[in-house]
């Protein structure tokens, strides 16, 4: 489902005490607000104005309806007046949807000359929302709380970020990770508890044999592959030798066939993400390189070496980033540049980095790959666009999942790297390479991650909160020793679950 198919329910709380006239005004204000919010591109889903919640029965019914609605991705609550929050306990205990507690009021300014007690009774979210917030704290719930005037751009941006996270959660609850083969042998960090992942995130992580893909691959006609390669020629440059018949052209056609076969399989299985592993490619001529890159560009999650957690996180990030500028990709920390004062990390993968992060038109090239023992694979070669980005991962600690996010500044690659024909990104992590790397390692972070120039920390933090998992931020103020202490303290919090 896409944003246009999803709804965010807007539930405004009040109570019967105020009488019909006031309650009519409350309902009218809620309608005006939702209409205006729906006209703002910062909020990517439709906000659905529900009836004013005035009693425990109303509230329980509204949350029950939200739980039963597949289109409802989340709920915004706001107390225009005072709404005694013991009335909300049953509804909130039954609730299964992410909540954003919007703390705002209909009027921006106090009408100094006209203000009277009627106005005060109608516009009292300043205390109504405190009563409402208390019941979340009492129930141990952690909705996102956004305070400010509802017409302000920053408030709407933050609500929009939360909606994107809610949409990604919704997508994950309906998504399958299609694993082709198992994880790379002996690797720890790409492993994890797939049952727990489904309980926690909704992700259905299942395995298919590579033979299923090889069979579909054999069935793709040369004509369909040729037509797809002609589409590539519209989007990418092709190395000169790939434009005429020969072994290079054949390699590109093979990747086009892999893309078509994989695309068919993903569609058939309702999968939003997939993994491959170079140790299990029997029946395929090459490691899927270009094919993984183009499928990621279409919005599929992907990670190499069977890393299903990052594949699904790439998918979640792709959903959150839909319609935003800046790309999102699977990424791997590869090599460091330790020049004093100019430290940076070079990120790449064997092949599979998404062209959405490219600074300029990517180029298809065919070169040998020193791993896997297959034919020379076609791949897209490009540099990542400079600018701020985030690197994010999810790990399985055995008793819980942890998300780790590091802010980075991607920089222009000044030196040509003619012997490294892969997609690559060069970044300076915050607070600095040494401290960022120490912090990431202390937190148990992966070599694989999601790289996004489209999303910020808040998107991932909102998503992690909705999922009820730990969120570890590495940024300009992070010190490795302090982080180690923080993680030790947090462990006692997480041990409660």
Rule CB under 5 A: which residues touch Mn ion?
304-305, 332
In the complex, the smallest distance separating the C-beta of residue 371 from Mn ion, rounded to whole angstroms, is 10
Question: Residue 53: helix, strand or coil by DSSP?
Answer: strand
442 Cβ partners below 8 Å, 6+ apart? 480, 483, 484, 487
Q: Quote the CA–CA distance of 232 and 397 in Å, as a whole number.
A: 41
| Nearer Cβ to Mn ion (205/467) | 205
In the complex, the smallest distance separating the C-beta of residue 151 from Mn ion, rounded to whole angstroms, is 46
The kind and range of the H/E element at 89 are helix 89-94
The kind and range of the H/E element at 133 are helix 125-139
The neighbour count for residue 116, using CB atoms within 10 Å, is 8
| Nearer Cβ to Mn ion (53/348) | 348
| Nearer Cβ to Mn ion (305/376) | 305
303 Cβ partners below 8 Å, 6+ apart? 190, 273, 275, 309, 310, 311, 314, 330, 448
In the complex, the smallest distance separating the C-beta of residue 292 from Mn ion, rounded to whole angstroms, is 12
Using Cβ positions, the residue closest to Mn ion within the complex turns out to be 304
| Nearer Cβ to Mn ion (332/383) | 332
Q: Is the dihedral of CA 96, 101, 107, 113 positive or negative?
A: positive
In the complex, the smallest distance separating the C-beta of residue 23 from Mn ion, rounded to whole angstroms, is 58
| Nearer Cβ to Mn ion (49/348) | 348
Report strand pairing: 176-180 vs 99-103: unpaired
| Nearer Cβ to Mn ion (59/312) | 312
| Nearer Cβ to Mn ion (287/389) | 287
H helix count then E strand count, the chain:
15, 19
246 Cβ partners below 8 Å, 6+ apart? none
In the complex, the smallest distance separating the C-beta of residue 208 from Mn ion, rounded to whole angstroms, is 20
Q: Quote the CA–CA distance of 374 and 64 in Å, as a whole number.
A: 54
Q: Quote the CA–CA distance of 319 and 153 in Å, as a whole number.
A: 22
| Nearer Cβ to Mn ion (332/470) | 332
Distances, alpha carbon 136 to alpha carbons 116, 132, 270, 297, 386, in Å: 31, 7, 35, 39, 41
In the complex, the smallest distance separating the C-beta of residue 396 from Mn ion, rounded to whole angstroms, is 17
Q: Quote the CA–CA distance of 282 and 242 in Å, as a whole number.
A: 25
Tokens found for residue 2: 């896409």
| Nearer Cβ to Mn ion (192/304) | 304
In the complex, the smallest distance separating the C-beta of residue 305 from Mn ion, rounded to whole angstroms, is 5
In the complex, the smallest distance separating the C-beta of residue 306 from Mn ion, rounded to whole angstroms, is 10
Q: Quote the CA–CA distance of 238 and 241 in Å, as a whole number.
A: 8
In the complex, the smallest distance separating the C-beta of residue 427 from Mn ion, rounded to whole angstroms, is 17
End-to-end CA distance of the chain: 32
| Nearer Cβ to Mn ion (123/446) | 446
In the complex, the smallest distance separating the C-beta of residue 482 from Mn ion, rounded to whole angstroms, is 30
């Amino acid at each position: 489902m896409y944003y246009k198919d999803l709804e965010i329910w807007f539930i405004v709380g009040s109570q019967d005490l105020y009488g019909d006239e006031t309650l009519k005004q409350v309902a009218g204000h809620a309608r005006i607000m939702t209409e205006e919010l729906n006209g703002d591109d910062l909020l990517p889903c439709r906000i659905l104005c529900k009836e004013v919640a005035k009693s425990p029965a109303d509230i329980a019914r509204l949350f029950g309806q939200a739980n039963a609605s597949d289109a409802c991705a989340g709920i915004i609550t706001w107390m225009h007046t005072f709404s005694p929050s013991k009335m909300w306990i049953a509804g909130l205990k039954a609730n299964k949807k992410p909540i954003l507690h919007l703390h705002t009021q209909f009027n921006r300014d106090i009408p100094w000359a006209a203000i009277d007690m009627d106005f005060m009774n109608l516009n009292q979210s300043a205390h109504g929302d405190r009563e409402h917030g208390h019941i979340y704290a009492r129930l141990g719930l952690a909705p996102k709380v956004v305070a400010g005037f509802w017409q302000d751009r920053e408030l709407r941006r933050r609500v929009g970020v939360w909606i994107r996270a809610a949409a990604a959660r919704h997508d994950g609850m309906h998504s399958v990770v299609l694993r082709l083969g198992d994880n790379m042998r002996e690797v720890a960090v790409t492993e994890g508890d797939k049952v727990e992942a489904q309980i926690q995130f909704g992700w259905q992580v299942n395995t298919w044999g590579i033979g299923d893909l090889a069979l579909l691959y054999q069935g793709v006609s040369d004509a369909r592959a040729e037509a797809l390669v002609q589409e590539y020629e519209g989007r990418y440059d092709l190395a000169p030798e790939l434009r005429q018949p020969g072994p290079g052209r054949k390699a590109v056609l093979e990747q086009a066939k892999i893309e078509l076969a994989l695309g068919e399989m993903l569609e058939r299985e309702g999968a939003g993400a997939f993994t491959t592993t170079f140790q299990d490619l029997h029946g395929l001529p090459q490691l899927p390189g270009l094919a993984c890159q183009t499928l990621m560009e279409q919005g599929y999650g992907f990670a190499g070496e069977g890393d299903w957690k990052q594949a699904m996180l790439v998918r979640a990030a792709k959903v959150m980033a839909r319609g935003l500028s800046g790309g999102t990709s699977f990424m791997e920390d590869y090599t460091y540049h330790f020049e004093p004062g100019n430290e940076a990390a070079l990120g790449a993968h064997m092949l599979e980095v998404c062209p959405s992060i490219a600074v300029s038109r990517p180029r298809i090239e065919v070169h040998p790959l020193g791993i896997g023992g297959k034919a020379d694979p076609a791949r897209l070669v490009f540099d990542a666009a400079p600018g701020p980005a985030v690197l994010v991962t999810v790990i399985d600690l055995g008793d819980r999942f942890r998300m780790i996010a590091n802010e980075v500044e991607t920089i222009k690659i000044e030196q040509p790297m003619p012997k490294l024909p892969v997609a690559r990104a060069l970044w300076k992590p915050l607070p600095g390479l040494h401290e960022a790397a120490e912090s990431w390692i202390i937190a148990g972070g992966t070599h694989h991650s999601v790289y996004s120039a489209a999303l910020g920390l808040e998107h991932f933090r909102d998503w992690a909160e909705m999922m009820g998992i730990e969120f570890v931020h590495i940024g300009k103020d992070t010190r490795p020793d302090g982080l180690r202490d923080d993680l030790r303290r947090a462990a006692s919090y997480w041990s409660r679950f």
